[in-house]
Structure 1
Amino acid sequence: MNGTAGTETDVIVVGAGPTGLLLAGDLASAGLRVTVVERRPHGISNMTRAFGVHARTLELLDARSLADELVRTGAPVTRLRLFGRLTLDLSRLRSRFPFVLITPQYEVERLLERRATAAGVDFRYGTELRALRQDADAVIADVTAADGTDAALRARYLVGADGHRSAVRRELALPFPGRSVIRSIVLADVRLAEEPEELVTVGGTGDTFAFIAPFGDGWYRVMGWNRHRQVADSEPVGLDEVREIARLGLGSDFGMRDARWISRFHSDERQVPAYRTGRVFLAGDAAHVHSPAGGQGLNTGLQDAANLSWKLASVLRGEAHDPEALLDSYHSERHPVGATVLRSSGALIRLAMARGPLQRAARALGAGFLDTVRPAATKAMGQITGIGIAYGAGRGAHRLTGRRAPDLRLAEGRLYELLRRGEFVLVAPPGAAPQGPHTPVPGRVIRASWANRARHDTLLVRPDGYIAWATD
């Protein structure tokens, strides 16, 4: 030990991946002191597993003035074709972003880090969490920097957004129940000599499956699995193996060449039982991990952060009517979402791995049902894209309470432009002075009116874009 230093802050965020960066940026933008502790040295790697940003996540980024810039970095995909016959037409989504954006995770991180830095976040790169303890007033995190300097960071709250091997979860001694669902998945970023017919290409035989999607800049992401090549993550993987999986799963390797990155990994299905332990919270992969099917991992973590950030800000600014209940609602709202994502992504990966004739017949039957029954397809798209996620409302609540608010047309502009201020938005007819079952501190509410003067209902929209209450 070369010395010990102490720091007082409002919130410590452990982990500078997308989840931690969005959370830290939100809190700092709300005027709070935020320290981010990240084990990796500074410098965002351009080699990453996540590559798809769904509609709901883009809406949340729109509320932070980042979505349009991010869209320019990738390729919007409006149609997903799965299992040979199932087509999900994302252009039917009622969103400003009716597509999935294929863009590497480092582009998301770049924008979120820039925002957090501009908001005044204190970054501690190359710093590792060694221990943490908490009492009724604070959390203390013992950390060690790359040069061996020890520090004790003290904060009102701490959030572990430090991935599936979370040191925060370890220090809380929380279980992470679940199991490995699939081994030896290979990932690669390559160039292709031949362009696939579908923008996103998915296929499989039961013994293999493969996926190809464009980044929009000449590079393609390839993901594949071969039942007959099950080896440890540490086993080397070369372009020839990726080509073989593509040929088996898709019928062609499309002339793959010039791989800039190749990796092998396994996929677990796990979820921590409690997202909150006193003054410590878990978010993103620290709280839940699941199969890559549907591309929901990055998106679920970012939505965790958006749910938690405004609640922490309200409590720390002394605005919450019932601080403990508000903080508890992070677990009660997001834990069921994480469990649903585990089930849906697990079902998709098991369908892709269907091997026997009965399993494959069941897959074809299910795909045909979704392809012909529009309500079922709409529900599936809502789950995968996040558009259909809603939070449970109490008995007697309005039917819209807890649902996602679309990008409403208001006299003052788009709803998600107003949400960029990080406050509640009260939408009412012009001149109305509505009172609902719960009104936050008046100074923290943006008042707006309908662009359509024929509307007489009232909505209170939370900072994360969900409806707090409504009246007809």
Structure 2
Amino acid sequence: MHTTVAIIGAGPTGLLLAGDLARAGIPVTVFERRSGVSNLTRAFGVHARTLELLDARDLADGLVDGGARVERLRLFDRIRLDLTRLPSRYPFLLITPQYRVEDALTGRAEAAGARIERGATLTGLRQDADRVVLDFGDRTVTADWVIGADGVDSTVRRSLGLPFPGRAVLTSIMLADVRLATPPEDVLAVNAVGDAFAMVAPFGDGWYRIFAWDRRRQVTDDVPVTLDEMRDVTRRVHGTDFGITEARWLSRFHSDERQAPRYRTGRVFLAGDAAHVHSPAGGQGMNTGLQDAANLSWKLAATIHGWAPAGLLDTYETERHPVGRLVLRSSGALIRLAMIRSAPARWLRNAFGAALLALPPVVRRATGVISGVGIGYPGAPRAADVTLRGGGRLYEALRSGRHVLLTPQPLPGYGERLLVAAPEADTTEAVLVRPDGYVAWRGPAAQAAAAVTRLLGQVAHPAPR
């Protein structure tokens, strides 16, 4: 069997990549070791920037309709971040389980023609200048390109011989899906008391996920979690156990802070948890992986179709590796602040945090990093959504999968690589927006045609007479 692109892993990262590539007309196969689809999930939060990227794929509104919004994100004690002033169509954190995101992405990928093979366990790979050979037990598959989106224990990364330096930041983290007699008043109940923390989030179907850690009981991942253990740590953190009555699933795991030194080796890429993992603080994991996918997909499609400028694929690593490092540092700082043990140190943390969050520039930076809205690339800032003349929005135009040129002047004659639209607001400026929603070029409208030719290698064809 041969496929143009093989994606290892059918989590959110791999599924978004599969949908984007298939919509670009590229044969793509996703290989997933799990035989079935599971509703067991660790991720619950979808941040504003991720919702914008899902909006560009016509998936955001459906997820928002079935989820719950958190407008003020509680970090610890009384320290909260107000998300309502984010410069985004989605000024909130959406609470929705990861499997709903996966369901939406799976439907999109399969509708576009992506093939998903479940029960396929990769055992190793090798590559030369022309192709990659993947081993799946007693059969082999060849591919022109491979993306490893197969998680923290990535077989793709190990097969490349890439290290994964870092360390465990938290051990003996407990997860439980439970029913509650008295649910929390807040959509997302989260707090830390120095020797423990607990987060309670709704599935939306009467079940709740509790995510907890207890410094007093540090055991290996294989030690079973009990309901009494969950009740005890939840009461210590929140003052109540919310009337935990029953559990359908209990588990224990550990959380690492690690990052691969490279995201590309030849024809093979890493994305999501295969490339970087970090503490659960701030809910960054799934979001960072989805943003990896949005960055890589259009660049790989352009390369396969033969119009990418030299070095475009290398910019995946140069743009996304620093973002992964930033997320490791910010989530690591949050979890360490939450784990402060002594009462005087916690008082200082709270007083200092409250003072900082009274400063608008600090608030903008903090909410921008956590939500992703404030993260851009060198020379390529995030493109804000704008209304278009005649109706519609920029991120609706991005659903075409093409670059979008916002220009007040008509620019006819461009084909499949570019969609031209006029912003509703009066301006003399033109903006070329990449398919992933970042600005490729900004300048006088009179220079737009030259910029498009330079960046996309596409020359306008004369308009028919």
Normalised-by-shorter TM-score class: over 0.9
Q: Which amino acid aligns with 2:23?
A: S
Structure 1: distance between partners of 2:248 and 2:180: 12
Structure 1 moving runs of 4+ over 6 Å:
none
CA shift for structure 1 position 29: 0.7
User: Which of 267, 270, 279 is the aligned partner of 1:282?
Assistant: 270
Partner residue in 2 for 1:455: 427
Structure 2: distance between partners of 1:365 and 1:120: 54
Partner residue in 2 for 1:431: 410
Structure 1: distance between partners of 2:294 and 2:384: 16
1:282-361 superposed matches below 5 A? 282-322=270-310, 325-357=311-343, 359-361=345-347
User: Which of 432, 444, 447 is the aligned partner of 2:417?
Assistant: 444
Partner residue in 1 for 2:66: 73
Partner residue in 1 for 2:458: none
Deviations 1:386-405 (A, max 9, x none): 11111012xxxxxxxx1111
SS in 2 for 1:443: coil
Structure 1: distance between partners of 2:373 and 2:238: 30
1:235-246 superposed matches below 5 A? 235-246=223-234
Partner residue in 2 for 1:4: none
Q: Which amino acid aligns with 1:447?
A: V
Partner residue in 1 for 2:18: 24
User: Which of 393, 396, 402 is the aligned partner of 1:414?
Assistant: 393
CA shift for structure 1 position 207: 0.7
CA shift for structure 1 position 432: 5.8
Partner residue in 1 for 2:455: none
Partner residue in 2 for 1:438: none
Is the contact made by 2:74 and 2:191 (CA closer than 8 Å) also made in structure 1?
Answer: no
Structure 2: distance between partners of 1:45 and 1:199: 24
Is the contact made by 1:22 and 1:112 (CA closer than 8 Å) also made in structure 2?
Answer: yes
Deviations 1:63-99 (A, max 9, x none): 1111111112221111112322212111111111111
Partner residue in 2 for 1:142: 135
Question: Does residue 217 of structure 1 match 2:205?
Answer: yes
Is the contact made by 1:320 and 1:326 (CA closer than 8 Å) also made in structure 2?
Answer: yes
Computed over aligned residues only, the root mean square deviation of the Cα atoms, in angstroms, reads 1.6
CA shift for structure 1 position 359: 3.3
1:94-113 superposed matches below 5 A? 94-113=87-106
Question: Does residue 61 of structure 1 match 2:79?
Answer: no
How many residues end up aligned between the 2 structures? 443
Question: Does residue 258 of structure 1 match 2:246?
Answer: yes
1:376-391 superposed matches below 5 A? 376-391=362-377
Is the contact made by 2:189 and 2:199 (CA closer than 8 Å) also made in structure 1?
Answer: yes
1:116-131 superposed matches below 5 A? 116-131=109-124
User: Which of 40, 57, 74 is the aligned partner of 1:47?
Assistant: 40
CA shift for structure 1 position 289: 0.4
Q: Which moved more, 1:258-267 or 1:352-361?
A: 352-361
TM-score (norm 1): 0.91
Question: Judging changes above 3 Å, is the alpha-carbon distance between structure 1 residues 432 and 318 closer, same or farther for their aligned structure 2 residues?
Answer: closer
Structure 2: distance between partners of 1:294 and 1:121: 32
SS in 2 for 1:470: strand
SS in 1 for 2:300: helix
SS in 2 for 1:281: strand
CA shift for structure 1 position 363: 1.7
Is the contact made by 1:354 and 1:360 (CA closer than 8 Å) also made in structure 2?
Answer: yes
Is the contact made by 1:204 and 1:248 (CA closer than 8 Å) also made in structure 2?
Answer: no
Is the contact made by 2:231 and 2:244 (CA closer than 8 Å) also made in structure 1?
Answer: yes
1:129-278 superposed matches below 5 A? 129-144=122-137, 150-278=138-266
Structure 1: distance between partners of 2:118 and 2:203: 28
Is the contact made by 2:68 and 2:187 (CA closer than 8 Å) also made in structure 1?
Answer: no
SS in 2 for 1:129: coil
SS in 2 for 1:273: coil
Structure 2: distance between partners of 1:314 and 1:376: 38
User: Which of 3, 9, 19 is the aligned partner of 2:3?
Assistant: 9
Q: Which amino acid aligns with 1:72?
A: D
Is the contact made by 1:233 and 1:264 (CA closer than 8 Å) also made in structure 2?
Answer: yes
CA shift for structure 1 position 358: 5.3
TM-score (norm 2): 0.92
Q: Which moved more, 1:185-194 or 1:109-118?
A: 185-194
SS in 2 for 1:36: strand
Deviations 1:321-343 (A, max 9, x none): 21xx1111000000000000000
Deviations 1:2-22 (A, max 9, x none): xxxxx1211110111110011
Q: Which moved more, 1:81-90 or 1:358-367?
A: 358-367
